[in-house]
Chain A
Amino acid sequence: MNETEITDDKEEFDRLLQKGDTQTYLLRLYIAGMTDKSAQAVQNIRKICDENLNGRYELEVIDIYQQPELAHDAQIIAAPMLVKKLPLPLRRLIGDMTDKERILVGLDLRPK
């Protein structure tokens, strides 16, 4: 069982590598209620993604007030927090997404 999983992972990895910048981004933005800060964060991240990812992304916005159990699973401490689930490695970006440079670094779209 384990073996197949491992090969699966490897294939997936190779596939991801080959895809390069055609990789789809899986992003989750956790916000704590619809505050100004939250709205700001949603707006900012959408803008940055639209500008840099050409629709190659899925953004899910989760209000942890509504689903507090998700906060535990996703190891949320601060809000707003953007979690980049794919491509690996996993990254967490906290703040209202105003620092564009840091976001691009965080999303591996720009070298550090």
Chain B
Amino acid sequence: MLKENNIKTSDICLLKCQTGIRGLDEITDGGIPGGRPTLVCGSAGCGKTLFAMEFLVHGAIEFDEPGVFMSFEESSEELAQNVASLGFDLKELESTHKLLLDHVSIERGEIEETGEYDLEGLFIRLNHSIDSIGAKRVVLDTIESLFGGLANEGILRAELRRLFRWLKEKGVTAIITGEKGEGTLTRHGLEEYVSDCVILLDNRVEGQISTRRLRIIKYRGSAHGTNEYPFLIDENGISVLPITSLGLQHKVSSERISSGIPRLDTMLGGKGYYRGSSILISGTAGTGKTSIAANFANSACERGERCLYFAFEESTSQLTRNMGSIGVDLEPWIRQKLLNIYAVRPTLYGLEMHLVKMYKLIREFKPNVVIIDPITNLIAVGSDNEVKSMLSRLIDFLKADQITALFTNLSHARSKFEHTEFGISSLMDTWLLLRDIEIGGERNRGLYILKSRGMAHSNQIREFLLTDNGINLVDVYLGPAGLLTGTARIAQEAHDKAAQTLHKQEIEQKKHELHRKLAVIEAQIAALNSEFEESQEEVNKLIRQEESLERALAEERAKMTHLRKADDPIPDEKP
């Protein structure tokens, strides 16, 4: 809401003039005040002249606004030479009437003051320069030199006041540079006359590392960033980096990308990391952090994505050689320009400078994946708090651009694993812990997922093996003897296997015996059956003999009865 308001009001009241200096226009919400003078002050060597020159050159080239550079210190030739290394061809711009350099030389020894005077000469000169090329932008660098050349300060101050008013009336956007004085912004109090916008440049040295910073001290009628912003002067000129925590409004992706290690993907809900997430790999020395990082880089390149690798410990060739030894060949990706390894010692710059440099490289290379290996080394150049603030800004910036970031972190052996030195864990979406497990006179690597936001992930510790063919994750042995890794695991597994085989054999044998027993029993049953049948046969035979005997006796009796011709039989039973 605030922002909308600003745009609205600035549309109505305040015309802004884009400087073309990268980053500055963002901080100032569109540039410096158009048609008004802006004071740029700072100590010697902080980049005032370059700042002013860039303003003119960008104006001339990008915004079609010709400019006049009135230099009170350096001659036109010197100026042209100084900025030639930045690719600015001032002579070319001068010949096409886009730029006019006017060197005002003031030699104290030559000048004698003989009464009342004014600076009308300077006004006319400037006016002529502006009109001859239709300039919209003017730089006065450094007008304070007049104080060195002219003794009458009273006249000078009155004339300067008139000059700035005149510049406003003329409607040109002007930059006036001023050297920083003791306790004041400029040595001669120019800030008194230029009240619309004041920008302070600073070059501070902390711990032998210098960082350039820029701050907008005031900007009438406009909202502006109030922080100190680091800026960089390199082969492309000044870049100011408004890297601030943007708030948590970035869009997230539900796309998943492989970690480059199939088994790790399985642990991460079967699909790998989220795109645009931040991943922290922490572990003690030699636990394989870089290897995991390199695998991730490799898999990104295999997908045809671009990867930017900040190596703070190893040189490019060292890294590719070492990764080659575990079967990760990074060189083809470097050749195809998919992988960019940026190897520097952290102590090369200050922390902010690193951030600025990273920001710049990321902007240029446009990677999908950024790896910083390790972040711990940055501590060497900044305090914990600074590192945290830097990282949070970096992560916010990366997230806004949906860049997946992987950081490695060297934790101290003695400190608790869950403790990162600068409490950055809350900034991380996925946190892998690598730890060494010492068992049986061996040191082995273990890996587990401490957290992974937004996905079901494994809670298991895996043993982490670096082989010639790459990284392999295997289950650790969890048995009655406890957690075993390495040779102990292999021995235990072999032992288990032997025991199992033995057991199997026993069962086989038992089965066999049972079969035999069954056969014996069946044979016995058959024998008994036949015995039974035999006895049955005998009994039947006896029965049959008995029956025939009886039949024979009955016949005999009947025959005798018939022969005797006996009476009807008397019933026996009757008494």
Of A5-13, A14-22, A49-57, A100-108, the one contacting chain B is A100-108
Which residues of A (58-90) have their CB < 8 Å from a CB of B? Answer: 64-65, 68-69, 71-72, 75-82, 89-90
**Contact assessment for B110 and A32 in the assembled complex, using a CB-CB cutoff below 8 Å:** no
B146 within 8 A of A: yes
Chain A residues in 8 Å Cβ range of B102? 72
- Residue-wise, chain B 110-138 has the 8 Å CB interface mask toward A (1 for contact) of 11111111111111110111000000000
Give A86 Cβ to nearest chain B Cβ, in Å: 14
**Contact assessment for A71 and B121 in the assembled complex, using a CB-CB cutoff below 8 Å:** yes
A27 within 8 A of B: no
With A72-B102, A75-B104, A78-B150 in contact, is A96–B124 under 8 Å at CB? no
In the assembled complex, the Cα of A85 lies from the Cα of B479 at a distance in Å of 104
**Contact assessment for A77 and B110 in the assembled complex, using a CB-CB cutoff below 8 Å:** no
**Contact assessment for B112 and A102 in the assembled complex, using a CB-CB cutoff below 8 Å:** yes
In the assembled complex, the Cα of A79 lies from the Cα of B114 at a distance in Å of 11
In the assembled complex, the Cα of A68 lies from the Cα of B122 at a distance in Å of 10
**Contact assessment for A77 and B112 in the assembled complex, using a CB-CB cutoff below 8 Å:** no
**Contact assessment for A93 and B122 in the assembled complex, using a CB-CB cutoff below 8 Å:** no
Which residues of B (551-565) have their CB < 8 Å from a CB of A? Answer: none
With A77-B121, A91-B110 in contact, is A96–B150 under 8 Å at CB? no
In the assembled complex, the Cα of A65 lies from the Cα of B118 at a distance in Å of 14
Give A52 Cβ to nearest chain B Cβ, in Å: 14
The total of chain B residues at the interface (CB under 8 A) is: 26
In the assembled complex, the Cα of A71 lies from the Cα of B149 at a distance in Å of 17
What residue of chain A has the Cβ atom nearest to residue B104's Cβ? A77
B465 within 8 A of A: no
Give A60 Cβ to nearest chain B Cβ, in Å: 16
**Contact assessment for B127 and A68 in the assembled complex, using a CB-CB cutoff below 8 Å:** yes
Give B112 Cβ to nearest chain A Cβ, in Å: 4
**Contact assessment for B112 and A79 in the assembled complex, using a CB-CB cutoff below 8 Å:** no
B317 within 8 A of A: no
In the assembled complex, the Cα of A37 lies from the Cα of B114 at a distance in Å of 12
A43 within 8 A of B: no
**Contact assessment for A78 and B112 in the assembled complex, using a CB-CB cutoff below 8 Å:** no
A99 within 8 A of B: yes
**Contact assessment for B106 and A77 in the assembled complex, using a CB-CB cutoff below 8 Å:** yes
Q: Which 3 A-B pairs have the closest CB atoms?
A: A95-B115, A68-B128, A106-B112
